[in-house]
Amino acid sequence: MKIERAKYTDANELTNITLRAKGHWGYSEEQLEAWKEVLTIHAVYIEQNEVYTLIQHEKIIGYYSYTRIDGDKVELDNIFLEPECIGKGYGKIMMQHFFKQIKTEHYRTVRLEADPNAEQFYQKLGFRCIDRLESSIQGRFLPIMELNLRK
């Protein structure tokens, strides 16, 4: 297993992983279709941001990406795994890689908007919910979470 920088040619594969991962949580086909554009990873996104793939047996099984908010704050933009890999420790492996990356770049704070199904995962890593953002689904709120890296 290895983690490496994504290539712009990975865009379609990363989009497909994203859609399959979202589907794992029971969202309807109609809802996934409504989210398709926002869940699409474009080649230009890969070229302009930090995107890393998790590869097992020469196949991408997951990825994460982050963007710089300002001098000492970063946002974890995406972290997705193939559905059969969810809950098996691969997410933690990607997060450890992410933390290593951003610590070398001297960031102090990580922010993210979590899918409600992933809130516990982030809490186990030390993130705390600082707010909630209403989503496009009535009655569904996205936890806005933050982690201070300098504690």
Tell me the pLDDT tens digit for each residue of 54-87. 999 999 999 999 999 888 899 999 999 999 999 9
Measured between alpha carbons, how far apart are the two ends of the chain, in Å? 31
Tell me the pLDDT tens digit for each residue of 29-59. 888 898 899 899 999 999 999 999 999 999 9
CA distances to 45, 61, 62, 93 from 1, rounded to whole Å, are 24, 10, 11, 10
Query: Which CATH number goes with the domain that contains 12?
Result: 3.40.630.30
Q: Report how many domains make up the chain.
A: 1
Pairing of the two strands 109-113 and 50-56 = unpaired
Residue recorded with tokens 């594969």 = 13
Mean pLDDT over the full length of the chain: 92
Show the domain range for 95. 2-148
